Amino acid sequence: MIRNFLKIAYFIFTAILPPLVFLILFFAISMIIYKHLEKDISWVDAFFWITHPHAISEHRRDITKLFAFVVYVGIFFFQVWFIERILVNIFSGELKILWRKRMSEVVISKLKNHYIICGYGQVGRTVVDELIKLNLPFVLIELNESIAKELIKEGLNVIHGDARRRSVLISAGIKRAKFICTLIDNDADNLYITITAKMLNPNIKVISRAGNLRYAEAMKGAGANEVIVPEYEGGLVVGRMIARYEKAGKD
């Protein structure tokens, strides 16, 4: 969380750095010119005249008064430049993502009895869509940074990280979650996440994806409540369709 605040501060600082540098130079040059035009004033007076041009008395030289107007216009220009730089960065994609990520972290820290989805592949995407339709709270853990950023832009609660890491699961609220779905397209990773999740929260229910039946048995042995083998399940569905058509044909 602190890291995100520092990133936001850094982006804002880098945005205002160019106008800030030019503003300092503008002040220095203006003070030198004021000192040159009115030799009886101090450096403090020269600085004060930049920010308070109305303080220049009427008996001063006309050229000084004209230069004061130039300084006034210059200060106005810098104000506009500062505001433009800040607004551009506030509404730019990167800063918006950082801010939404920070807000997402706050929401995630308060979630209870929620679902944790590991992986936003084809299966994970379908599960997320269903959870949104059912209006159920969830946290998505996605390793691909570009995908995570796009989903954060959409307002989803997303953690960019490796679901195999304990710290990432803890950030997702594993100890307060009701379900975790390990849907990564790698059986070994899903098995490892299942074991880690059960270690961190023995009461959590686990739904795992497996690529073959051998890993499915291993995941069940590791504590998974349900194991889905998409290829196997798809084959069964096709088999049932064939049986239904065959039965209809005989009738």
pLDDT in tens, 23-35: 889 999 999 999 8
Listed by start position, the domains of the chain span 2-91, 111-238
* Cα 157 → chain centroid: 9
The burial of 112, by beta-carbon neighbours within 10 Å (0-12 exposed, 13-18 middle, 19 or more buried), is given as: exposed
Element (H, E) at 8: helix 2-37
Is the pTM for the entire model greater than 0.75?
no
Using alpha carbons only, give the angle 77, 83, 85 rounded to the nearest 5 degrees.
100
pLDDT, mean over the chain: 85
CATH of 111-238, picked from 3.30.310.50, 3.40.50.720, 3.40.50.12780, 1.10.10.10, is 3.40.50.720
Q: Give per-residue pLDDT as tens, 105-161.
A: 888 889 999 999 999 988 899 999 999 999 999 999 999 988 988 888 888 999 999
Return the pLDDT at 167: 93
Return the pLDDT at 215: 87
